[in-house]
Amino acid sequence: MTVPTPNKWRFCLALSYALWGFAGDSPLAAKPSRPANDKPNFIIIFIDDMGYGDIGPFGSTRNSTPHLDMMALQGHRLTSFYVASPVCTPSRAALMTGCYPQRIGLQSGSGHIVLFPGDHHGLHPNEVTVAETLSKAGYTTACFGKWHLGDQPPFLPTAQGFDEYFGIPYSNDMWPQLRRFQCPQLPLLQNNKVVDIVRDMKDQAMLCRRFTEAATTFIKEHKEQPFFLYLPHTFVHSPRLASSAFMAEAKTVEEAQIEEVDWSVGRILDTVREEGLAENTLVLFTSDNGPAGGLSAGPLRGRKGSAYEGGHREPTIVWWPGTIPPASTSDEIITALDIHPTFAALAGTAPPIDRIIDGHINTDIILGHANARTPYKCFFYQQGGKVAAVRAEDWKLFKNGELYNLRRDLGETNNVAEENADIVKRLEQLFIDFAKDIQINSRPVGIFENSRTLTPRPGIDGKDAFIPTLKLPLRN
C-alpha cells in the first residue's frame, strides 16, 4: 500500500513534474501500452461536497493541492461546469444517465431529498448509464467509492453497467452514529456482496486510500484494453477524518481531507503515466455539489442544497496530455449531463436514441478547442427536488423572481429583475416549456418491492433489524 506523501514533499513532486513539461514527459512517463489512436480511457474523480473555492486552481490559499495544481497546469480548467442538482442522489443520477433528475424520477428519494438505506427507490434498470454505453463499445468498467443511486440488487453498480464495484452504497454519514435516523451498519460492498463494515472514524479515515488503491490496481490490470473508471470518493462529506499523515500537518480536518483527495489525484495520474497511458487517457476531476459546512464556495453565493451558483457550479479540471492544451481555461457552460453523450462520442459510439438525453455532445469544450462555444440554450437548477432557476446565456432567473447577470455579477448580489422585464418574461417561458416537456417525456423511477437494508441495525434481532431506515420513526 502506498503511504500518502506529506505536504512539503508533494509540493516538490508537483513542481518537478511541471518543470519536466506539460505533455507527460515527467520522470514517470512511459511508452504507451496501446496505440494513442485507440479508444481513449476515461477516468472520473468525483468528490463529495467539495466547493468551488476549495482547491488551488480555483483560488484556494488555505488548502495545499499541488497535484491538482499540476493537473490544471497540464490540462484544462472548466470554470462554468455545472452539476444537475445541489445534493448527492440526483446529481449522480444525472451524471450517470445524461438526464435531468426529473426526467428519470430521481429528483429525490422516496421520503427524503436523497436515498437512504433500504430505500425501495433507485435508478431504474431500464435506464442506460454511461458505463453501459461504454461497456457495449468494448470498455471494461469499474466504480470504486460512493454510489448512492440505490442499494437494492437491481440498482447497484454491477447491475448498471459496471464490471467491478468496491465501495459504500450511500453516504458515509448513514450509519448508526447518525442521530436523527435509525441507520444500519455502514457496509462496504465488493460487487453486490457486503465484505466489510465501516465501524468507526478510523475506518472512515481509510476510505480515500482504500478506494484510491482499488482504482490504481484496476488501471494496472486493464491497461491493455479501453477502460472507464469512476472514482466517487466519500471525502469530503461528513463525518470527516483523514489519514494520520494528513491530520498531523493540517490545521483542520477539512484541510486534511482535501489534501488527501489531492494525494489521491496524484496517485491516479502517476499510475496512468507509469503504465504508459497518459496520451490515451482523459481524466476529469469535479464534485457532486456545492460545499457543506467548513468548506468554501469561493466567490460564489450559496452552498450545498442551494440553487445559487455555489450549489451547482463545481471546480472542474480535465487532463489528457497531447490532446488537451495545457494551462487552458473555458468559461463556457458545460455540465455533468454532457459526460454520457460526450464520452460516448469520443469512444466512437452513442447513448440510446429511443429516449431523451438532456446532455449535449460537448467535445469542443471538454477538449479545450480554441473558440469553442457551448451548445446550451438554457440550463435548469434544482433546489429541494424541484426546478428553482434557469440560466440562458449570461442571465439567471429564479422562480421567485430574482434575476442576475452572471457575467457582471458572479456572486449574485444585485437583483436586476425590475429593469429587465423583457428578460424575465423570456426566461419564465423556459420554466413553462420544461415543465410541459417533463410531464410528457419523463420516465419512472426504479421500484424494488419488499426492500431491506444490506446490513442490520445494531442491537436488533431478526427481520426487524433490516427495516428500511425511512420506515422507522426519527429519533428525538
DSSP string over 2-19? PPPPPHHHHHHHHHHHHH
Return the ∠ at Cα 79 (arms to 76 and 84), rounded to 5°: 115
User: What is the pTM assigned to this prediction?
Assistant: 0.94
What does the pLDDT read at residue 237? 98
What was the pLDDT predicted at 19?
A: 41
Looking at the annotation, which residues are catalytic? 88, 148
Q: How far is CA 108 from CA 114, 121, 151, 449, 466, in A?
A: 5, 9, 15, 18, 22
Instruction: Give me the DSSP letters along 45-76.
Output: EEESS--TTSSGGGT-SSS--HHHHHHHHHSE
* Residues 113, 117: Cα–Cα separation, whole Å: 13
- Asked if residue 98 lies in contact with residue 337, where contact means CB atoms within 8 angstroms, the answer is yes
User: What does the pLDDT read at residue 8?
Assistant: 41
Q: Where are the alpha helices (DSSP H) in 26-177?
A: 66-74, 88-97, 130-136
pLDDT, position 44: 98
> How far apart are the C-alpha atoms of 122 and 149, rounded to whole Å?
5
What the chain holds in terms of domains, given with CATH numbers, is 41-378+446-471 (3.40.720.10)
Question: What CA–CA distances, in Å, run from 328 to 75, 79, 123, 293?
Answer: 6, 11, 36, 31
Each residue's pLDDT expressed in tens, for the chain with a length of 476 residues: 343 444 443 444 444 444 434 333 343 344 544 555 579 999 999 999 999 999 999 999 999 999 999 999 999 999 999 999 999 999 999 999 999 999 999 999 999 999 999 999 999 999 999 999 999 999 999 999 999 999 999 999 999 999 999 999 999 999 999 999 999 999 999 999 999 999 999 999 999 999 999 999 999 999 999 999 999 999 999 999 999 999 999 999 999 999 999 999 999 999 999 999 999 999 999 999 999 999 999 999 999 999 999 999 999 999 999 999 999 999 999 999 999 999 999 999 999 999 999 999 999 999 999 999 999 999 999 999 999 999 999 999 999 999 999 999 999 999 999 999 999 999 999 999 999 999 999 999 999 999 999 999 999 999 999 999 999 999 87
Whole-angstrom Cα distance, residue 319 to residue 279? 10
If you ran DSSP here, which 8-state letter would residue 285 be given? E
